[in-house]
Structure 1
Amino acid sequence: MRKYLACIATLCLLTSYRGVAQRSNVRAADRLLQSEKPNFAEIDRLLREAAAHEETKNDPYTYYIMGLVEHNKSKAEYRKLITPGVVGDTASMFRSVVAEIYGWRKTDSLERTPDKTGRISLKYLKKVQDYVKEDKDRIYSAGLFWLDRKSYQEAVNAFTAALSAQHILLPLGEQNLPADSTTANLTYYALVSAYTGKLYPEVIRLSRYKDRAANRNEVYQFVARSYLAEGDTLGAMPILERGAELFPETTFFFGTMISIHQARKEYDKAVALIDRALKVAPTNPNLLVLRGNVYFLAQDWARATEIYKQVLQLSPDNYDALFNLGQVYYNNAVTLLSKPLSTKLDEHKAKEYFRQSLPHLEAAYKRSPDQVRDLLGNVYYRLGLEKRYEELYNEAKK
């Protein structure tokens, strides 16, 4: 029994010693950092061990020193860049100034968290905030630097770090970033970087800032498109709904929701959405085209025809209305001819539908020849207009 107890005591002492050793590691890293030529490889090793150990992984001092290491690296590189005759590395400077925020964000979080007695003890936060004030503009510049070079993930990292810097600078008790131009621009650039780089999960992660961003209409579209790119229509719908409320004249939000309902064959819901949008902009030709398209997909040719004609009264050169109305007449004709027992009267009506489709398709062809050519050629053929049929395809060969 005595041997067993002695063994337990030894293990306790070893555990305690290892914890003390890890705190000593952080102090050793601090001392090395203050030397004339810091050994950054050794400093990083000591800090990694401390961050992985139970006794020091939740110690603000560990992460304060982590941030300070990167801050010093960034300053050292900056001094090289501004010293004549000395070669510096701009990319390294910006990577370090962004990396410092990881450690200091953790310091900030740990120090703002009350202990078991409800007390908050601030040992390092004031120092961290002073350093962040010194570096926040450079972190912003890092984002612009990487965005300009189309290094989108690094740009996202930098702008996100700049947002974290704004969080660190908040007074105690505050949790939300101020609705100011700095927050608005940082958020916008972070989302632009992520969306342009097709980093759709990053866009979705950053979407919690969407209502603080500049150019909110554009930002809501980024977020919705990112959900759709990830195949998540369920996640996209609330964004599209809110976008439609905030920006009712932007047809993207209504149009995309309508497309989703159309894909699900929920035509009544699609029409209800369009009617809602038309209350805001009753003569918007794009919305009217969408309404016509719903009836087109539902094969309600009569209603589709009526709406496309209405669009062409408002906007005679509207390509979508011209092409789609031409297709409606064509589909009416083909439907008649496909009847198992079609009559001469059906053939006569079908020919009339082909004639009605012709001027609309010819007008649409002038706007988009490649998309319209085959359908127009089919109408020429059905009407026996061989010469125009040949001219159409000879023109395509030129």
Structure 2
Amino acid sequence: MKKLIYVVALALLTTTGSFAQKSNIKAAEKLTKASTPNFVEARRLAKEALAHEETKADAYAWYVAGLVEHEEFRKNLIASALPQNQVDEIAMFNLLLTEMPLFLQVYEIEKVPNEKGKVKLKYTKKVKDHVKEDYQYLLNAGNAYMGKQDYVSAAKAFGQFLKIKEHPLFAEDKEVSTPDSTTMQVAYFACLLNYESKRFDEAIEMSRKYRDFVEKKDDVMQVLCGSLLAKADTTAAVEAMMEGAKLFPQTPYYLSNAIAIKMSQGNNDEAVKLLQQAIDNDPNNALYLSMMGDMFTRDEQWEKAVEWYEKSIAIKPDGYPTTHNLGLSYYNMAVKVLSVDRPGKLEEDKAEALFKKALPHFEAAYKQKPDAVYYVLANICKRLGLDKRYQELKELHNLD
């Protein structure tokens, strides 16, 4: 008999704890809606209920917790419209940032069928109204955070805006759910801000999700690649880079980084293979052809480098790096010919022919970047006996 009394007493104690938390939730709601709200105490009571085992999965508790933030945000928002009031804008938007996840959790709890298999959305209707009332201010919040260089909070604000636009609560509400140009811009900035704030997991998720939606797809694709690299997932990064190279062949970022990764891994053959694959897909891409020349330049295979640079020049004659590198390859070939012990007339003639081939390419490169080219160009002119041109370069660049 004593054992039975003990068990009943224990049950009563447990019930009392649960009842106390439910009373706290009701008290928090009253404090929030009072003519003179006490948001500090209401927030404390709501947080206590969300932390308690008996009420942490209670939809009403989450609704009231969100309501506290909502009501204080609205109060500050109204006050900010009056010129005589000075409202802390960042503190106001912090309330909004806290509000949204609390409200959305109500739906997550209530959408689960009860023991009878029924779904009762008791507080979700109120949540939907409040969220729709507030969510567009997340755009203002994001801009305000960006102004303070708080990129983490800005990314969260824009992320919440996108989440609401896509939330099942608003699937039938075309006013909210229909994507527009603003949604496109927010998605773009959300990707960039997550990367900028080193939230790389979020940047990867959002970039994959929105890269085909945003207008500046190239930028978002680079965010994806950069974020994967930051996570040291080089396999996925190279795959993304090769996809980016195919989508945006004129952007050197993708292929150059993919090749750099392979080379850093000591896999030069794979680097050449990747580049050859890109050339096969786009054989008239001057950039890829020039990069293949660079690959052979690294190994000092000047003859092969020349072949690829010549192909690139034939498609795009005015590109500085290729023009300069082609001239440099001919120059290095000439130097190599003369590097033998006691070069004779045969070597001298062969080297002179190579210097002559290098000359027009160095002249073309000089027109674009004289300070980067003048020294070698002057050396070529001196070797070829072009005294007038050599003197010009000597005077222009104070050569000894």
TM-score (norm 1): 0.82
Which residues in structure 2 correspond to 1:334-345 (within 5 Å)?
A: 334-337=335-338, 343-344=343-344, 345=346
For the 8 Å contact 1:129–1:168, the answer to whether it is kept is no
2:188 is aligned to: 188
Structure 2 residues without counterparts, runs of 5 or longer: none
* 1:133 equivalent in alignment to 2:137: no
Q: 2: CA distance between counterparts of 1:395 and 1:372?
A: 13
For the 8 Å contact 2:171–2:177, the answer to whether it is kept is no
Q: Which residue among 250, 274, 281 is the counterpart of 2:278? A: 274
CA shift, 1:319, in A, is 0.1
Q: 2: CA distance between counterparts of 1:173 and 1:92?
A: 33
* 1:285 equivalent in alignment to 2:286: yes
* 1:303 equivalent in alignment to 2:311: no
Q: 2: CA distance between counterparts of 1:293 and 1:268?
A: 10
In percent, how many aligned pairs have the same letter? 35
* 1:158 equivalent in alignment to 2:162: no
Q: Secondary structure, in 3 states, of the residue corresponding to 1:54?
A: coil
Q: 2: CA distance between counterparts of 1:157 and 1:15?
A: 38
Q: 2: CA distance between counterparts of 1:367 and 1:249?
A: 20
Which residues in structure 2 correspond to 1:180-259 (within 5 Å)?
A: 180-181=179-180, 183-196=183-196, 200-211=200-211, 213-215=213-215, 216-248=217-249, 250-259=251-260
Q: Deviations over 1:55-87 (max 9, x none)?
A: 222222222112211111111011112235333
Q: 1:173 to 1:394 in 2, by over 3 A?
A: same
Q: 2: CA distance between counterparts of 1:203 and 1:296?
A: 36
1:101 is aligned to: 100
Q: 1:359 to 1:166 in 2, by over 3 A?
A: same
CA shift, 1:20, in A, is 2.9
Q: Secondary structure, in 3 states, of the residue corresponding to 1:394?
A: coil
CA shift, 1:33, in A, is 0.8
Q: Secondary structure, in 3 states, of the residue corresponding to 1:78?
A: helix
Moved more, 231-240 or 375-384: 375-384
Q: 1: CA distance between counterparts of 2:191 and 2:58?
A: 33
Q: 1:313 to 1:30 in 2, by over 3 A?
A: same
Q: Deviations over 1:156-187 (max 9, x none)?
A: 1110111222244535899xx96722543331
For the 8 Å contact 1:29–1:43, the answer to whether it is kept is yes
1:331 is aligned to: 332
Moved more, 209-218 or 131-140: 209-218
For the 8 Å contact 2:47–2:65, the answer to whether it is kept is no
Q: 1: CA distance between counterparts of 2:7 and 2:74?
A: 48
TM-score (norm 2): 0.81
CA shift, 1:103, in A, is 0.5
CA shift, 1:150, in A, is 3.8
2:37 is aligned to: 38
Letter in 1 for 2:47: R
Instruction: Tell me the matched-pair count.
Output: 389
- Kindly report the root-mean-square deviation, in angstroms, between the aligned alpha carbons of the 2 structures: 3.6
CA shift, 1:32, in A, is 1.1
Q: 2: CA distance between counterparts of 1:14 and 1:342?
A: 104
Q: Deviations over 1:8-39 (max 9, x none)?
A: 76555444433332232222211211112222
1:394 is aligned to: 398
Q: 1:83 to 1:119 in 2, by over 3 A?
A: same
